[in-house]
Amino acid sequence: MRIILCGFGVVAQSLVKLFDSRSEDLYAKYGLKPRVVGVFDSKGSAVDVSGLSLSKLVETKKKFGTVKNYANTKNSMSGIEMLKNVEADVLIETTASNYKDAEPGMTHITTAMKKGMHVISVNKGPLALAFPSLMELATYNQVMFKFSGTVGGGTPILDYAKNSLRGERITSFAGILNGTTNYILTNMSTGLSFESALKDAQDKGYVEADESLDLDGLDAAAKLVILANWIMGMKVTLPDIDCTGIRKVTIEDIKKAEKNNSVLKLIASCDNKLVVSPKEIHKDDPLGVNGTLNAIAFTSEHSGTQTIIGKGAGGTETASSILRDLLDIRQEIAKN
């Protein structure tokens, strides 16, 4: 299977390491032989239609900070040029999420789909701003569009709701969809101020380069859009979410929750309305998880409420979700 990798940060590097370490196993078990034919990052690109050396890609990125030094002939082909001129079966889009206009991810995805390529995205921007139209474009071009790594990293939240609860009608859901804010609020419950808890999270590398994505609830809101569209069949985008972040949460708010035998969490919920805001959760509630964990509770018509808890983001966790999507695509292609 010929793959173009868009972006070569932590997630994409974790993915090629996974391909490398599991190549025999993937072929023996699933008949999957991933062949990376092109990679581009913000500074350049590397192309080889017979397949790039995965270990050399990682070494080049480590040494030069870009993949363009992969070969002696420095490749300056842009991402769009590569998508238009290099033959591939799947585009894996891992560039940073942008919630203003979703670029450059949006153009990468639409270009690939129009060319008949299947797409796997862990970039939430295009889905948050244009989920319904992207699904229509995928259907129109008869390609598969997968995005399990956009919600919950390595925890199969989307998969669980769609497949494990098949035949059930999910009536509502609520959860902690951002591990960074959960980590900050957990630390505040031990007496740290918001500023100290934020600094600790930044020192550990949990906070996005643009901190407003975490602190103002944008990341959680984007995930809520994806869940509402995919699971509830809604047609919503980011502006439909009523969103409040955690910047105004004080130690007093934390203590007030404590008095009510509760904890304060940033909760994304889909009931009659779509809301992201800090909320008191009873200490015994399964959603009261600590640290960087994510948790989501689905309430369905007949089987009551089911809660799924797991790690949120992380290079290896997100790479494993991309691999799951790739195996799904491989299976569908084999069927047809």
Full set of structural domains in the chain with CATH:
2-154+315-335 (3.40.50.720), 157-311 (3.30.360.10)
The alpha carbons of the chain give a radius of gyration, in whole angstroms, of 20
Catalytic residue numbers read: 223
Residue-wise pLDDT for 98-156, tens only, equals 999 999 999 999 999 999 999 999 999 999 999 999 999 999 999 999 999 999 877 88
Q: What number is the average pLDDT over the span 4-25?
A: 94
Query: What is the average pLDDT score of the chain?
Result: 93
Residue-wise pLDDT for 304-318, tens only, equals 999 999 887 678 888
pLDDT band at 78 (very low <50, low <70, confident <90, very high): confident
Q: What number is the average pLDDT over the span 1-17?
A: 95
What is the reported pLDDT for 75? Answer: 60
Q: Which residue has the tokens 């769009």?
A: 80
245: which DSSP letter? -
All residues at 6 or more sequence positions from 292 whose CB lies less than 8 Å from its CB, including other chains? 179, 180, 182, 183, 206, 311, 312, 313
Pairing of strands 44-47, 2-6: unpaired
pLDDT band at 268 (very low <50, low <70, confident <90, very high): very high
Distance from C-alpha of 232 to C-alpha of 240, rounded to nearest angstrom: 15
**pTM as predicted:** 0.91
Residue-wise pLDDT for 231-250, tens only, equals 999 999 999 999 999 999 99
Q: Of how many residues is the chain composed? A: 336
Q: What number is the average pLDDT over the span 41-58?
A: 94
Q: What percent of the chain has pLDDT over 70?
A: 99
**Nearest of 1, 4, 3 to residue 81 by alpha carbon:** 4
Q: Is the pLDDT of residue 272 over 80?
A: yes
**Nearest of 144, 12, 2, 8 to residue 87 by alpha carbon:** 2
Distance from C-alpha of 306 to C-alpha of 323, rounded to nearest angstrom: 26
Residue-wise pLDDT for 274-297, tens only, equals 999 999 999 999 999 999 899 999
What is the reported pLDDT for 193? Answer: 94
What is the reported pLDDT for 60? Answer: 95
Pairing of strands 118-121, 145-146: parallel
Sequence-ordered alpha helix ranges (H) in 65-104: 79-85
Distance from C-alpha of 146 to C-alpha of 327, rounded to nearest angstrom: 11
Distance from C-alpha of 291 to C-alpha of 295, rounded to nearest angstrom: 11
Residue-wise pLDDT for 15-27, tens only, equals 999 999 999 999 9
What is the reported pLDDT for 67? Answer: 94
pLDDT band at 189 (very low <50, low <70, confident <90, very high): very high
The strand pairing partners of 266, in sequence order, are 278
Residue-wise pLDDT for 121-134, tens only, equals 999 999 999 999 99
